[in-house]
Amino acid sequence: MLKCLLLCRFGIECITVGVRFTENFSASAVCCLAFKEMELPPLKIPFIHWIFLSVIVFVQVTNGFYLPGSYMHTYSNGDPIYAKVNSLTSIETELPFSYYSLPYCQPPGGIKKSAENLGELLMGDQIDNSPYRFRMNINETLYLCTTSPLNEHEVKLLKQRTRDLYQVNMILDNLPVMRYTTQNGVKIQWTGFPVGYTPSDSGADYIINHLKFTVLVHEYEGSGVEIIGTGEEGLGVISEADKKKASGYEIVGFQVVPCSIKYDPEAMKKHKMYDSIPSASCPTELDKYQVIKEQERISFTYEVEFVKSDIRWPSRWDAYLKMEGSRVHWFSILNSLMVIFFLAGIVFVIFLRTVRRDLTRYEELDKEAQTQMNEELSGWKLVVGDVFREPDCSKLLCVMVGDGVQILGMAGVTIVFAALGFMSPASRGMLLTGMIILYLILGIVAGYVSVRLWRTIKGTTEGWRSISWSAACFFPGIAFFILTVLNFILWGSNSTGAIPISLYFELFFLWFCISVPLTLIGGFMGTKAQPIEYPVRTNQIPREIPARKYPSWLLVLGAGTLPFGTLFIELFFILSSIWLGRFYYVFGFLLVVLLLLVIVCAEVSVVLTYMHLCVEDWRWWWKAFFASGSVALYVFLYSINYLVFDLQSLSGPVSATLYLGYSLLMAIAIMLSTGTIGFLMSFYFVHYLFSSVKID
């Protein structure tokens, strides 16, 4: 008798993966498993069943999970809570700088950096502690510090950061600070607050020196569950079986209203840090703002108000991840489906009516008639002795296909995990870190595919080590070259976005100690795999290709417009997320778009390969790769268009160079992955097509 029971009732945490949590079962996406008592006959249970039963037992013991993001913290009344500060960022320059590069108040115990993962470092994040201290459910207005008289360098730096629209990014309990503004009657949500103001009707610059915080809290009562988190604190299990210990307040929102207030520095300097001061309202007259000028002493203050909220802790990120324009995503998907059905119709007409008919007629003839027919035939049947002839630069083709499989696998697995909720923005840098780890692991696939394709083309395993090394170094080498050039630019600007030397050594270690060995192992496995045999023999003398009225490469480049039509709407949202500081979390749409892109790339490449064979052009290898890979050209051109028309605020040659460098790297990755899809599908099609023809 097997008894497996998982208690599941309304309002209690269950196994959730990136789904909203509500009180009402009908409005929830809560997955619960319940097993009834049952009689089981004596059976031999397979190993996979034991794994499943172990998972169920673990579920019964732990009762509930919340996988995405960091685990929950509960606070009692009066508990101290310290905010953290991230790098200063700007959509005008895209150069992050340290928060303490400006003359802000420093914490009493000194500046301490928080632990940063690989993704955070590559993204230019630098999270430090701050002097902003809150006490749970205690509303207060506090004094921080008064700076020494500003010197010329500090004034110049503050003015420059203010005019470049730099934002201060503050974090409380892993939530970014959020502010709301109203423009033309529309309420706009921002993360962070500006360093200062530069009014259009005034030539002076004013610093933000008073912050009015609103902390939303939800009263929580323990329910005998365990919560597992994967946040910035790392994997952890918090046992909350003791209801008294579990009860408390959760932070579910963090908002700010920034102000500029001119204080009397002599009167303010009498206070000590965290002394209570009278509450102040944000002034509306410019003469009451704190101006930025030399020898000015700036006093920093803040106030905090705690407000109870009905928002539950698993739903606290909804306000940040709310993304407008879902209809646009659906329109993009429907548009892509129309393109797919159109291309599928062409493919079916070509293959079912034309190819099948030709093959049937060809096979019904006897040998003498086939010989006579071969002399009269035209089209793809005439290139039977040349269709599998070794292409130009075959080694480069094998390497690019192997790297394309590696990049495509990395992107596919990452998007699937993100769509399931495992790449929560609450875990900063996890998305980029996960992509790097997946890329390293999939080196074994790149080596296998590259060497097996090389063995298919050459008919021998000789030179497989060179192929494996090239596959391990081709795309990473391009990426390192581009990133190194951009890094010198960032170093010259003293930006926190520059990769530290120590991180360079870490990346080289990951590359040569993990990726390269795995790629060599994959290449060795490719030498042991069953070779792909061609269905027809290749003639010794190449067949002459008939002259054409127009270059065939024009058709290849034009074919990239169809995959681009599938991709460009989602590409707009991705670019906006990267360069305008917006959250992107519609990975479900992105997963669907990726699947549609794979189908379109495969169909486009197959159709163009068939068209080239029909005009007796047997050099289809590279054309099949670039038929779908040419979408990268349109992606890069669209990135330039986005820079000119949508990123008009981006200023300076340094920022433009950074943008174009990262866009070029993205386009190369897209070219390798989409080109690989088209090539592999075309290879399968050509192999299947000519294996159906019986020729001596």
| Cα separation, 547 vs 122, whole angstroms | 51
Residue 184's pLDDT is: 75
Q: What percent of the chain has pLDDT over 90?
A: 42
- β-strand pairing of 170-172 with 80-85: antiparallel
Residue pLDDT, tens place only, 608-624: 998 888 888 888 999 99
Helix (H, G, I), strand (E, B), or coil: what is residue 306?
strand
Residue 402's pLDDT is: 96
| Cα separation, 461 vs 445, whole angstroms | 17
DSSP codes joined into one string, 221-289: ---S-EEEEEETTEEEEEE--SHHHH-EEEEEEEEEEEE-----HHHHTTS-TT-B----PPP-SGGGS
Residue 694's pLDDT is: 55
pLDDT at 68 over 80: no
The rounded mean pLDDT for the chain is: 80
| Cα separation, 620 vs 178, whole angstroms | 54
| Cα separation, 674 vs 562, whole angstroms | 12
8 A C-beta contact, residue 588 and residue 423: no
Does the pTM of the predicted model rise above 0.85? no
| Cα separation, 583 vs 576, whole angstroms | 9
Cα dihedral across residues 357, 363, 364, 367: positive or negative: positive
Residue 332: name the closest of 627, 640, 564, 634 by CA: 564
Confidence class for position 371, pLDDT limits 50, 70, 90: low
pLDDT at 356 over 90: no
Residue 575's pLDDT is: 87
Residue 658: name the closest of 57, 37, 87, 89 by CA: 89
Residue pLDDT, tens place only, 460-504: 888 899 999 999 999 999 999 999 999 999 888 888 888 888 888
The whole-number average pLDDT for the span 306-335 is 77
Token code pair at residue 60: 């019964």
Who has greater pLDDT, 558 or 52?
Answer: 558
pLDDT at 234 over 70: no
Who has greater pLDDT, 21 or 139?
Answer: 139
Residues 6+ apart with CB under 8 A from 332: 566, 569, 570, 589, 593
Q: Which residues of 385-418 are buried (b: 16+ CB within 10 A; e: fewer)?
A: bbbbeebeeeeebbbbbbbbbbbbbbbbbbbebb
| Cα separation, 5 vs 633, whole angstroms | 56
Residue pLDDT, tens place only, 581-637: 777 777 888 888 899 899 989 988 998 998 888 888 888 999 999 999 999 999 999
Token code pair at residue 338: 């129309």
Confidence class for position 376, pLDDT limits 50, 70, 90: very low
Who has greater pLDDT, 672 or 225?
Answer: 672
Who has greater pLDDT, 61 or 522?
Answer: 522
- Other beta carbons within 10 angstroms of residue 333's beta carbon come to 18
Rounded to a whole number, what is the distance in angstroms from the first to the last CA of the chain?
A: 66
Confidence class for position 323, pLDDT limits 50, 70, 90: low
